[in-house]
DNA sequence: TGCTGTGAATCGATTCACAGCG
DNA sequence: CGCTGTGAATCGATTCACAGCA
């Protein structure tokens, strides 16, 4: 077995990659785990340990070459290529996602969108064609899609996600406010601002007067 | 010391509360940790352990009273009241946040918004007045705000967050694609879809052919 | 009997601390 | 000398397993 890399480590790598890109833009060419940790609010030991799962990228006594480490991380994560995505749900939220300009520059391309609403089907939003959801299954048989973005109401999410998985989609970004359990081979990440707010209020309510 | 409750537990409670609300709407009046676990994709033991930090809400041999447990959790989390929020950054993303209809029904009210752009300052978006960011510090001296939502470009996030903290805001929902370390007494949650995508690609790239 | 609540056991992640190299 | 890379130690979270109650 080639040593199992903890998922928490994988989740941190993109933040490292981002900080390194920032340092690159600043023209910095060396950085220590100490300094990187300060930028990100993480301990230096954790950064070193995380990186050690993938290789030995540093120079003792100096630190890490910024450009080199940035390149390595991008390659490890697959950020050196483009990924195709489809969006399901072209309501308010879906339209915001289609016109969001943060995906494309990072190599994440929304190639098609789907909705149940006849009013929007056949139109173009943010340069992307909107198809009928009824065509989703058939579509997935013809085209290979890397990532599905789900932006439908909570009660419609489960069947859509089932369709995506049946169609061979292995990564899902779920904006619907509901937890949908998926098979182990499928990745799902939930974007749920209300959930984030609802746990912060616990600390607002308590922790106040100490 | 009154036993420290792990943050991971607090993070899970809102999902439990949501599932219970769903069951309430279905007219269900009893649920076991087993069934709740199946709905949420979590082990029954974890649910029981999590709840045990706060009290003994179940009946042996039966399970939990849905209405009762829902009420308890809402009270524990402070979901039985309203929370005031301000938004900083009224660009594309900020406007989507202002017109998002998922916050208000859960008791999260955006009371004011701020932006640097003269073009939008003075206008109303989604029923919310947009003020100049230069007035933010002064505003926070007069008004008590529970939560700050940050939707500015990455390079402007740190100073805005510093202003919020200086103004007494203790919880921040950060949509800016950057990690900003904050003092321990301040809660910050990042909403970062690109980061989520960038860790999923690791598994797309590998794990494919096994 | 069927389930909760919970100590004990396990599992996993973080931090420590230092040998070793540039 | 300063910093990395990494086993060992610690810390924390999850799961087990069962006593006890309805």
Give the single-character DSSP code of A118.
T
Find the helix or strand (DSSP H, E) in which B72 lies.
helix B66-77
Nearest nucleotide to the CA of B44, by C1', is D15
The answer to whether residue B203 neighbours chain A at the CB level (below 8 Å) is yes
In a domain, B2, yes or no: no
Taking an 8 Å cut-off on Cβ atoms, the answer to whether A181 and B100 are in contact is no
Chain B partners of A194 at a C-beta cutoff of 8 Å?
Answer: 14, 102-103, 106, 108
Shortest distance between the Cα of A59 and any Cα of chain B, in A, equals 26
| Number of domains present in the structure of chain B | 2
Query: Would you write out chain B's pLDDT as a tens digit for each of its 210 residues?
Result: 456 899 999 999 999 999 999 999 999 999 999 999 999 999 999 999 999 999 999 999 999 999 999 999 999 999 999 999 999 999 999 999 999 999 999 999 999 999 999 999 999 999 999 999 999 999 999 999 999 999 999 999 999 999 999 999 999 999 999 999 999 999 999 999 999 999 999 999 997 654
Alpha carbon distance A149, A191 (integer Å):
10
B10 CB less than 7 Å from any atom of strand D: no
Of B58, B63, B76, B60, nearest to B17 (Cα)? B76
Protein CA at A67 to nucleotide C1' at C19, angstroms: 28
B116 and B15 share a domain? no
Chain B partners of A187 at a C-beta cutoff of 8 Å?
Answer: 200, 203-204
B122 CB less than 7 Å from any atom of strand D: no
Mention every residue, 6+ apart, whose C-beta is less than 8 A from residue A85.
Answer: A103, A108, A109, A110, A111, A145, A146, A147, A148, A149, A173
Of B158, B210, B208, nearest to B188 (Cα)? B158
B190 and B92 share a domain? yes
Predicted pLDDT at A210 = 45
Chain A partners of B178 at a C-beta cutoff of 8 Å?
Answer: 18
Shortest distance between the Cα of B171 and any Cα of chain A, in A, equals 7
A179 and A125 share a domain? yes
Positions in chain A short of pLDDT 50: 1, 210
B36 and B129 share a domain? no
Range of the domain at A148: 83-195
Q: Per-residue pLDDT tens for A100-142?
A: 999 999 999 999 999 999 999 999 999 999 999 999 999 999 9
Alpha carbon distance A120, A157 (integer Å):
19
> What's the CATH number where A160 sits?
3.40.50.720
């Amino acid at each position: 077995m080639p040593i199992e890399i903890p998922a928490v480590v994988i989740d941190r790598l993109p933040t490292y990659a981002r900080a390194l890109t920032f340092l690159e833009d600043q023209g910095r060419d060396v950085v220590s785990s100490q300094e990187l940790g300060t930028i990100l609010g993480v301990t230096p030991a954790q950064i070193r340990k995380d990186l050690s799962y993938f290789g030995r990228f540093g120079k003792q006594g100096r630190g890490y070459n910024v450009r080199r480490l940035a390149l390595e991380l991008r390659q490890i994560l697959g950020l050196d290529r483009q990924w195709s995505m489809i969006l399901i749900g072209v309501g308010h939220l879906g339209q915001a996602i289609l016109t969001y300009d943060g995906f494309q520059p990072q190599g994440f391309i929304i190639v098609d969108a789907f909705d149940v609403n006849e009013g929007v089907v056949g139109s173009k939003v943010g340069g992307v064609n909107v198809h009928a959801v009824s065509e989703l299954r058939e579509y997935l048989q013809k085209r290979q899609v890397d990532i599905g973005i789900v932006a439908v109401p909570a009660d419609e999410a489960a069947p859509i996600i089932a369709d995506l998985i049946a169609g061979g989609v292995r990564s899902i970004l779920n904006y619907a406010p509901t937890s949908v359990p998926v098979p182990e081979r499928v990745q799902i990440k939930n974007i749920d601002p209300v959930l984030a707010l609802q746990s912060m209020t616990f600390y607002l309510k308590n922790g106040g007067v100490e």
